[in-house]
Structure 1
Amino acid sequence: MIKYSAMKACLLAFGFLLCHLLATAQPAVPYGRNPAAGHYQLVRGVKLYYETYGQGPPLLLIHGNGDNISAFAKNIPYLAQRYRVIAVDSRAHGKSVDAGDSLSFEMMADDFAGLLTSMRLDSAYVVGWSDGGINALVLAMRHPKKVKRLVATGANLWPDSTALMPSLWRQQQRGYHENKNMKFTDPKRKNDWKVFCLDVFQPNIPLAALKGVRVPALIVAGDRDVIVPEHTVAIYRHLPRAWLWIIPNSGHATLQEHADEFNRKVDEFFRAKVVSPPAR
Structure 2
Amino acid sequence: MKLKSLLLLLIIASAKLSFAQNGKSPFDTTQYGRNAAVGQYADIRGFKMYYETYGRGEPLLIIHGNGGSINNFLYQIPFFAKSYKVIIADSRAQGKSVDPTDSLSYEMMTDDLNALLDKLNLKQCYVIGWSDGGINGLLLAIRHPDKVKKLAVTGANLWPDSTAVDPFVYKWAMNENEKVKKEAVTPKTKNELKLLHLLSYEQHITVEQLHTITCPTLVIGGDHDVILPVHTMLIAQSIPNSYLWIIPNSGHSTPVFKKDQFNAIVADFFTSPFRKIDGYGKFR
Query: TM-score when scaled to structure 2?
Result: 0.91
Q: Which amino acid aligns with 1:233?
A: M
Cα RMSD (Å) of the superposition?
Answer: 1.8
Q: Distance in 1 between matches of 2:258 and 2:268?
A: 15
Deviations for 1:160-181, whole angstroms, at most 9, x for unmatched residues? Answer: 0011110010111122234446
SS of structure 1 residue aligned to 2:94: coil
Rounded to whole Å, the distance in 1 between the matches of 2:9 and 2:179 is: 21
Q: For residues 211-253 of structure 1, what are the alpha-carbon distances to aligned partners after superposition, in whole Å with 9 as ceiling and x for unaligned?
A: 1111000000011100011100000000010100011111100
1:93-132 paired onto structure 2 within 5 Å: 93-132=94-133
Q: Give the C-alpha shift of residue 183 in structure 1.
A: 6.1
What's the CA shift for 1:21? Answer: 2.1
Question: 1:45-60 maps to which residues of 2 (within 5 A)?
Answer: 45-60=46-61
**Does structure 1 residue 21 correspond to structure 2 residue 20?**
no
Q: CA offsets per residue over residues 169-224 of structure 1, 9 Å max, x none?
A: 0111122234446662x212211111111011120111111011110000000111
- Structure 2 residue 206 is the aligned partner of structure 1 residue 206: yes
> 1:48, 1:89 within 8 Å by CA — same for their partners in 2?
yes
Q: 1:90 to 1:244 in 2, by over 3 A?
A: same
For 1:126-184, what per-residue CA distance to the aligned partner results, in whole angstroms no more than 9, with x for missing partners? 00000000000001100000111100000000000011110010111122234446662
Q: Give, as a single letter, the amino acid of the residue that structure 1 aligns with 2:203.
A: P
Which residue in 2 is equivalent to 1:146?
Answer: 147
CA distance, structure 2, for counterparts of residue 269 and residue 112 of structure 1: 22
Matched residues, number: 272
- Distance change in 2, residues 1:198/1:86 (3 Å): same
Distance 1:141 1:22 in 2: 33
SS in 2 for 1:84: strand
Identity of matched residues, %? 46
Unaligned runs of 5+ in 2: 20-24
| Structure 1: stretches of 5+ with no match in the other structure | none
Task: Give, in whole Å, the separation in 1 of the partners of 2:137 and 2:275.
Answer: 21
Superposition map of 1:1-280 within 5 A: 5=1, 8-9=2-3, 11-12=4-5, 14-23=7-16, 24=19, 25-26=25-26, 29-180=30-181, 184=185, 186-276=186-276
Q: Which one is further off, 12-21 or 219-228? A: 12-21
**Partner deviation per Cα, 1:34-86 (whole Å, 9 max, x = no partner):** 11121111111111111111000000010000110000001111100000001
Contact 2:166–2:226 (Cα < 8 Å) also in 1:
yes
